[in-house]
């Protein structure tokens, strides 16, 4: 195997590892704490390890899923949603990379309802991304297959190495003399 092929394989392997393990990782679950201060709804979004979910999108919708307000968390995972009358709402938090919570929220908040999403799975409605993983693996397989075919064609269909060609030519030349 040539040095060029080895370098290409290392780069490709590094790219695959980055794609497979990138981001926050799939082990993080979101935790959302809501509270009312002076009649105004506030939310704090963190991962289960306490890391703030910076720039997460926080949406409050009515029960018919019509959006009422959308906000982004700051670097500490905090956001202000505003004043809302008593009633039931949908709180949707999307921190990217599949980290999502969708919960019913009843206002005004009861003392026991200040924390939502404890240890919720990071996928909406507990769906696992198996189809996305399968599509990704198929894409990686197709990439490897294409790369392999291209390299084989560049090296003369890969049927004989340069050393084999040299030995075959040498044997033919000695047979003629």
pLDDT digits (tens, 9 = 90+) for 57-71: 999 999 999 999 999
Q: Report the chain's terminal Cα–Cα distance, integer Å.
A: 34
Tell me the pTM. Answer: 0.52
- Distance between CA 43 and CA 78 in Å, rounded? 6
CATH class of 30-126: mainly beta
Tens digit of each residue's pLDDT (9 = 90 or more) over 88-116: 999 999 998 888 889 999 888 765 445 55
Please answer whether residues 74 and 67 qualify as being in contact, where contact means their C-beta atoms are separated by less than 8 angstroms.
no
């Amino acid at each position: 195997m040539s040095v060029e092929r080895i370098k290409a394989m290392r780069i490709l392997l590094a790219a695959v590892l980055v794609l497979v393990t990138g981001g926050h990782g799939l082990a993080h679950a979101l935790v959302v704490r809501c509270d009312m201060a002076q009649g105004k709804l506030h939310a704090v979004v963190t991962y289960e390890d306490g890391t703030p979910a910076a720039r997460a999108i926080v949406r409050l919708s009515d029960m018919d899923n019509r959006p009422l307000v959308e906000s982004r968390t700051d670097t500490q995972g905090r956001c202000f949603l505003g004043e809302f009358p008593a009633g039931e709402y949908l709180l949707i938090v999307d921190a990217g990379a599949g980290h999502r919570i969708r919960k019913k929220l009843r206002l005004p908040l009861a003392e026991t309802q200040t924390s939502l999403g404890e240890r919720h799975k990071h996928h909406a409605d507990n769906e696992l991304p198996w189809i996305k993983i399968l599509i990704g693996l198929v894409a990686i397989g197709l990439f490897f297959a294409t790369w392999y075919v291209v390299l084989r064609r560049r090296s003369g269909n890969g049927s004989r190495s340069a050393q084999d060609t040299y030995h075959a030519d040498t044997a033919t030349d000695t047979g003629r003399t």
